Amino acid sequence: MRVAWMYHDVMDLYGDTGNMMVLKKRCEDRGIRFELETVGIGEKADLAAFDLIFLGGGADKEQMSIIPDLLSRKENIQEAMDSRTFVLLICGGYQLFGKYYEAADHSQIPGLGFYDYHTDTGKEGSRCIGNVVIEADLDGLKTKIVGFENHGGQTVHVEHPLGKVLKGYGNSFDAGYEGFYDGRILGTYLHGPLLPKNPEVADFVITKALQKNDPDFKQSDLKKLEDVWETRAREAILSKLEQ
């Protein structure tokens, strides 16, 4: 499983590094070869050669710093998605695959424009902050996903949300839904980081990545792991939030 971690040294807000640590560990525990390559600003890489692309979160300053390089890779990213490379996006990464992101000073940061959604800034500096629980259907796998959100951006016109909000805000204050999933990319505001608290989602991402070279591979084909501490952490959060 080959993973391209884009802008690891810039877009790494709220512990996004933990997501890569989880994928690496869960692959190694199953004897799946895991290769992680970082792709920084100006570094050459054929993104279509990878099974998974990961782009984490960052504040306005960080997002603006990567825009020229990110936009220069648009054709290659499209090629990667067309060749079944799966894409995992957290917060800022999620926003930048839409039309644009409006910064706190109301300037518009252009996105890749792969999807019709866009992100406006919260009124008077308001932010969506707190623990989140959503109910999602991941290609037939129904699960509750837990995490933590902290975003001023209000993402609207999301045609394929990741899940229904049970606790928290989601894409915007009154959205009722969180994230984006269309079979090719999974975008979400959930930090925490996301994958340590949600082993089913981690295995789902691994499965989607492996399906690039083996379309018939199913999540049930993965060796079962004990997930004792992960399950306890999830149960503690769900119990606290009464979900």
Residue 27 annotated in active site: no
Range(s) of the domain holding residue 78: 2-240
Q: Dihedral (C-alpha) 127, 64, 45, 91: value to the nearest 10 degrees?
A: 0
Lowest mean pLDDT among 13-27, 133-147, 172-186: 13-27
pLDDT at position 83 over 80: yes
pLDDT at position 21 over 80: yes
> Per the structure, how many domains does the chain have?
1
Listed in sequence order, the residues at least 6 apart from 71 whose beta carbon sits closer than 8 Å to its beta carbon are 110, 112
For residues 126-143, one letter each, b for 16 or more C-beta atoms within 10 angstroms of the residue's C-beta and e for the rest, the string is eebeebbbbbbebeeeeb
Q: How confident is the model at residue 104 (pLDDT cuts 50, 70, 90)?
A: confident
Which of 133, 119, 145, 120 is closest to 197 using CA atoms?
145
Between 104 and 29, the more confident residue is 29
In Å, how far from its chain's centre is CA 153? 16
Q: How confident is the model at residue 192 (pLDDT cuts 50, 70, 90)?
A: confident
What tokens does 192 get? 């925490």
What tokens does 77 get? 């990213």
CA distances from 156 to 176, 179, 218 (A): 11, 10, 32
pLDDT at position 18 over 80: yes
pLDDT at 42: 97
pLDDT at position 125 over 90: no
Q: How confident is the model at residue 103 (pLDDT cuts 50, 70, 90)?
A: confident
For strands 86-90 and 185-188, give the pairing. Answer: parallel
Q: In what order do the strands lie in the sheet with 185-188?
A: 35-39, 2-6, 52-55, 86-90, 185-188, 180-181
pLDDT at 174: 87
Residue 91 annotated in active site: yes
Q: What is the pTM of this model?
A: 0.96
Q: Given 91, 118, 128, 151, which residue is catalytic?
A: 91
pLDDT at 134: 97
CA distances from 131 to 95, 125, 135, 149, 242 (A): 20, 19, 14, 6, 12
pLDDT at 80: 98
pLDDT at position 237 over 70: yes
Q: Which helix (H) or strand (E) holds 164?
A: strand 163-167
Which CATH number covers residue 98? 3.40.50.880
In Å, how far from its chain's centre is CA 70? 16
Q: Given 8, 118, 151, 191, which residue is catalytic?
A: 191
Listed in sequence order, the residues at least 6 apart from 203 whose beta carbon sits closer than 8 Å to its beta carbon are 26, 219, 222
Q: Is 164 exposed, middle or buried (0-12, 13-18, 19+ CB in 10 A)?
A: middle
